[in-house]
Structure 1
Amino acid sequence: MQWRGSGFVVLGWWYVVAVLGAVGVLLMAFGDVRWGGRIMAGGLFFGAFVRLVARPARKAGGLNARSRAVDVLLLLGLAIGILVASATVKLDV
């Protein structure tokens, strides 16, 4: 999906995932690490869900990079990894 002549590609649902990731990073930097990780993981879980159910594939926008199975598995793997890492981080110094 592209607007004619503008060079701007409409990425659709990718914007939601990117905003949730940015909010999670900011929250991790200036607030609670665990909640920031949960928000980031939630955004990635949402991206995996959208990529899984979007029919046709072009409705997924920027989340459509590889085959559907690879995209969903990568997003789920990243989400689980971030969730586990943020939940098990030792915050006592």
Structure 2
Amino acid sequence: MADSNLVQHWRVRTRNFALGGVACVMSAFVLKATGTTVAAKVFDVLLVLFVLFGLVALYCTHRYWQVFRDDEIANGGSAKTAQEKWHEMYPPGAG
């Protein structure tokens, strides 16, 4: 897999796991609001899934950054320029 394809791969994985976590939380709170007896058991399972999706999304973000930095260095840049580009794409504190 080419470096830029690998960057795209990790970006998509990060986004998908983050969206999966958001979907779990939204589903959990909808079930909690309905107040059915089954909802209590499903609520706990959805919260555990949310935590797992969150942890995997953090790992994918870390891998995304590593591959992004390596791709920038392979294309003639440096770790500093990779960090500057990363901060342009994802400003600190904007999330």
TM-score by length of 2: 0.49
Where do 4+ consecutive residues of structure 1 move more than 6 Å?
none
Q: Tell me if 1:69 matches 2:42.
A: no
Q: What is the DSSP-based 3-state SS (H/G/I as helix, E as strand, rest coil) of the residue aligned with 2:9?
A: helix
Once residues 33 and 75 of structure 1 are traced to their aligned partners in structure 2, the CA distance between those partners, rounded to angstroms, is 21
Once residues 35 and 87 of structure 1 are traced to their aligned partners in structure 2, the CA distance between those partners, rounded to angstroms, is 11
Matched residue, 1:5: none
Letter in 2 for 1:78: V
TM-score by length of 1: 0.50
Identity of aligned residues (%): 11
Considering fraction of residues, name the structure with more helix. 2
Letter in 2 for 1:86: Y
Which has the higher Rg, Structure 1 or Structure 2? Answer: 2
Q: Tell me if 1:43 matches 2:21.
A: no
Matched residue, 1:33: 6
Q: How many residues align?
A: 57
Q: What is the DSSP-based 3-state SS (H/G/I as helix, E as strand, rest coil) of the residue aligned with 1:56?
A: helix
- Counterparts of 1:1-93 in structure 2, within 5 Å, are 29=1, 31-54=4-27, 55-56=30-31, 67-89=45-67, 90-91=70-71, 92=74
- Displacement of 1:74 after TM fit? 0.4
Matched residue, 2:36: none
- Displacement of 1:88 after TM fit? 1.1
Letter in 2 for 1:40: R
